[in-house]
Amino acid sequence: MTNEIHFIDFEPQVLEKKFWTGRVYENQNQVMVRLNEWTRKNYNNEIINIETVVVPKHPHVKNDKKQNRLNMHGGHVYMIQVLRVWYK
């Protein structure tokens, strides 16, 4: 029997698409609700760790709320928080 380690990412989903202001995403509480629902449905998996991963997102995708913006020498990079679940 082999023990394989897997992961699943939960990123904020698009709630609205607006022509002038871009897209509006879920907040972290809404993402946590989806993560908790997944853990309830997959209770037979052994959860090893849950972590927050900050990854770059497309620069043309805007959010109505304050952006996580990283100032680089060549411009700005917009970041998004993803919840990652490691499980067996």
For the residues of 14-40, what is the DSSP string, one character each? EEEEETTTEEEE--HHHHHHHHHHHHH
Residue 60 lies in a domain: yes
Residue 67 lies in a domain: yes
Model-level pTM?
0.72
What's the number of domains the chain is made of?
Answer: 1
- By the 10 Å C-beta count (0-12 exposed, 13-18 middle, 19+ buried), 12 is classed as buried
Taking residues 59-71, report their average pLDDT.
Answer: 53
Question: At residue 60, does pLDDT exceed 80?
Answer: no
Q: Model confidence over 2-42: pLDDT tens digits?
A: 689 999 999 988 888 888 877 788 888 999 999 999 999 99
Distance of CA 61 to the CA centre of its chain: 15
CA–CA distance, 11 with 77 (Å, rounded to integer): 17
DSSP state of 41: H
Residue 21 lies in a domain: yes
Residue 1 lies in a domain: no
Residue 13 lies in a domain: yes
Residue 11 lies in a domain: yes
Residue 19 lies in a domain: yes
Q: Quote the domain boundaries for residue 11.
A: 6-87
